[in-house]
Structure formats: structure tokens, C-alpha cells
Structure 1
Amino acid sequence: MPHDDHDTIDGDVYVSPRHLARATAVGDPGLDPLRDLGWDLHHDDLGNAYLTAPDGKVRLGYLPEGKDDGLWRINAYKDAFGPPAWGVCFNDSAPTEFVTAFTTALAAAYEQGPDAYLAAPDPRSKDRDPFLAVVPLINRGWQIDRPRWGVFAVRSADGLAGLEFTTGDLDPKTELTTRDARWQLWAGTVIDHPAWYATASTDTPVALVRAVTECVSDPAPLPRWREDTHSYVEVMARLTPILPPRPPAPTPLDVQRTVARRPVVLPAASVPRWSTTSRPVLPGHRR
């Protein structure tokens, strides 16, 4: 995630491709898009954070002290006191930028209303076709894969990341509590032991899933601290040192000010030069 302002980069190396990066140590960027909407934030005694929409129909849990590796859990509800309409989970190693992409899209959808943040996928709709979430990956070189029956999948060019879409009927409760969900995005050498993963249940709006696939497949690298790039996947990544900030180019006003500060040098007064020729002989007596 390069920046024009190098002072804002939190890291000393760029990790490329970005799907080989890990989570950052701070989760605030993932919370900020929803906090900026005025959502209620509170913590429990263990240090877990919870964000709740004003109408109570969207909830986010940031759970560093949770019961499993599901660090981020986001659920939406048709009825604030009913079961979730959809649920999304990012585990504790998923790059924070991918979570931020999701919460940014969720914030935009929430401002549009329930018709946006509760818009279930529909293959008959040109705006809600699940395949729209796969398009960004295919456009950036991911290849269609057939890992097993009943699963449509695409794989990154290096084979170290994949997206799976499971067809057929799924148990709604299982989707919300396990990795057996409609959508699963992951990185690693094998899906059973991924470096990181994210899941989304059947009725998760396509626009929200697409926001994540757009971010995952972005060719720009992600900044990280070298000492934190130690996972078995990150050793396969390309690490590029982040150069120190360059001095900004002078503006026309800077040039004018520099010229104005220069001392004025007056031209030197005319001074007769020494001549190297002999002076004419004056008349007088010869010796």
C-alpha cells in the first residue's frame, strides 16, 4: 500500500504480492470506517471491542481474546433480535487492509440503507450476481480451479492464494461458526492449514465480498516491518526496502523566496589596471 507521503508508511519493507502479507498489530484501521459513522463502541473485561450500528442491525466484534482464531466477526440482521442474515469472519492473520476494505464498503452500504447492506446475492440480477465478486481476481490473472465436486474456485498466479465458492445447500448456523461457509478466501500452501483466511455466508451482499477481492488482488504491495515477516508463506514473498522520504520538489514560490533572500552584489567601481608595458622615456640629459 504505497503512499505519496512516506511518513505515513508503517513498516520498513513492502510485501509483494500482498496476499502473502500478514495482519498488522493494530486493528484500528478496520474499525475506523464504522466508527466514523458514529457507531457505538464498547469493550469487555478481556479487551475485546464491539461496534454496533445505531439501529442495532449490524454488529462487529474485534476479538483478540475470543474463543477461536476468528479475530473479526461481522454480522447483519433483518431483525435486531433475530438470527443473523449474514456473517463474515477474518481470522487473526488476515491482512488488516482486507478487513478495512470490507468495513469501508459496509459503511457505504449502511448509509444507503437495508436494501444495500442486506442485499442477498441473486444470479438473475446483473448487480447481485455472485460471479461479480470473482471478476476482479480473474481480471488480475487468477486462474479458474476445480478443487473438488461442488466447489468453484480461482487460484492466484503463484498458487498461494485462492477463493472458493461452495454450491448447493449449506447449514446457516454452520456458516456463521465454522469455515464451511459459502465463500472462503485464503492464502497458504494448503487450504486445511492456511496462513490466513476469510469467510462469508450465503447472503452476504456481493458488493461487500467484491470489495475484499478487489483489495486482495490489487497489485500494489503492503508495508510491513521486516522482523514481523516470519510466517512460512511470507518467506516466499518479495520484500522490497521502503526508501527514506525524499525531499519535496521546490515550488515556484520556494524559488522566488530563495532568490529574494540572496544578497545583492553591486558592480565593482572602475579601477585602473597595472600596465605591463614600459612607460615612455621622458626627455632629459643623457649620462
Structure 2
Amino acid sequence: MTLTLAPTPTTSLLRDAPAPGRADAAFARTWILGAGNPYPVLDLLAEAGWQIVLDHRADIHCASPCGRVYIGYLAESPHAKINDLWHITVEGHHDIPGWEQTFPDDVPSEVVAGFVNALLNTPARTEL
């Protein structure tokens, strides 16, 4: 995998916010906020051949073709009460432990899709 780095911006990001009523192009940029809908992630997984199941609560469960990775969109689950909307679990093997990552309901699904895209497209390490 080859990474290409973009040049560092020359403008400072650390400055005071503009006074109320003053338009400033540097602060006009809007950012994605809120969970949105799960389709950015689900589209990636469907394209990669994952099994996607909608349960009786309208939660969405996704399994990798090998069965070792689970991604859940748990909007109606009891987990949503503790602010865990996305659950990603990678099962370990032999003496290498797996891992888990959760994202709360205020993280945009496009950000979760970026994380999932990196998971799908980063080859496993051969050295430990």
C-alpha cells in the first residue's frame, strides 16, 4: 500500500473565531455532524460480499465472508442506551488477540465508513 501525503496548509488553524456577524472564509467550512444513516458503511460491506442481516428490532448485523469480523449498527439495541451505535469486532486467532471498536451515535456514519474502508483495504501484518 502506498500513501501519498498532501502538502501542509500554510494558513494557521489556531486563531480566534470571527466576531459575530462577520463573514470569514476560513470559518465558512461546514463539517459533517450527527450519525446520519448507515448506508455509507452498508454499501461498502455489500460491495465486499459481506452477509447483512436486519433483525426484529431493526438492528443491522454484518459478517465478513470469513466470519471473523462483525460490524453491528445497533440503533434499537439496549446498547444504544449506553451510546454505542456501531460495534466492530475482529476475532483473534492462535495467540494473537482480537479487538473491538465502538462508535457512539454522534459520530457520522461517513467517519465510520472511513474506518471500515481502512479495515477492508489494509493487508494483515506478516511480522509481529
CA distance in 2, matches of 1:108, 1:32: 15
The structure whose RCO (Cα within 8 Å, separation 6+) is larger is: 1
Matches within 5 A, 1:214-253: none
Matched, 1:58 2:69: yes
Structure 1 56/119 Cα, relative in aligned 2: closer, same or farther at 3 Å?
Answer: farther
Matched residues in 1 for 2:42 and 2:127: separation?
22
Aligned match of 1:23 = 35
Cα deviations by residue, 1:172-225 (Å, 9 ceiling, x for unpaired):
xxxxxxxxxxxxxxxxxxxxxxxxxxxxxxxxxxxxxxxxxxxxxxxxxxxxxx
Question: Are 1:73 and 2:87 matched, yes or no?
Answer: yes
Q: Report the 3-state secondary structure (helix = DSSP H, G, I; strand = E; otherwise coil) of the residue aligned with 2:78.
A: coil
Give the Cα–Cα distance (whole angstroms) in 1 for the partners of residues 66 and 47 of structure 2.
16
Taking structure 2 as the reference length, the TM-score comes to 0.64
The alpha-carbon deviation at position 34 of structure 1 amounts to 1.9
Q: Counterpart of 1:104 in structure 2: which amino acid?
A: N
Alignment of 1:27-38 (within 5 A): 27-38=38-49
In the alignment, the residues of structure 2 paired with residue 100 and residue 92 of structure 1 have an alpha-carbon distance, to the nearest angstrom, of: 14
Matched residues, percent identical? 29
Matches for 1:17-166 after TM superposition, within 5 Å? 18=31, 21-24=33-36, 26-68=37-79, 69-79=83-93, 85-109=98-122, 112=123, 115-116=124-125
Which consecutive unaligned segments of at least 5 residues does structure 2 have?
1-27
User: 2:115, 2:87 → 1: CA distance?
Assistant: 12
Show CA shifts across 1:107-164 (max 9, x none).
112xx3xx24x998xxxxxxxxxxxxxxxxxxxxxxxxxxxxxxxxxxxxxxxxxxxx
Cα separation, partners in 2 of 1:78 and 1:119, compared to 1, 3 Å: farther
Alpha-carbon deviation of 1:50? 0.7
Does the 8 Å CA contact 2:92/2:99 hold for their aligned counterparts? no
Q: Within 1, Cα distance between the matches of 2:71 and 2:47?
A: 14
Q: Is the 8 A contact 1:40 1:51 kept in 2?
A: yes
Q: Deviations over 1:25-72 (max 9, x none)?
A: x21102222221101111211011111011111110011112132110
Q: Give the conservation status (yes or no) of the 8 Å contact 2:50–2:63.
A: yes
> In structure 2, what is the equivalent of residue 127 of structure 1?
none
After TM superposition, the score normalised by the length of structure 1 is 0.30
Relative distance call for 1:119 and 1:97 in structure 2 (3 A) is: farther
Question: Any stretches of 5+ residues in structure 1 without a counterpart?
Answer: 1-14, 121-287
Distance 2:70 2:121 in 1: 15
> Is the alpha carbon distance of 1:17 and 1:119 closer, same or farther for their aligned partners in structure 2, counting shifts above 3 Å?
farther
Give, in whole Å, the separation in 1 of the partners of 2:46 and 2:127: 22
Choose 1 or 2 for highest CA Rg.
Answer: 1
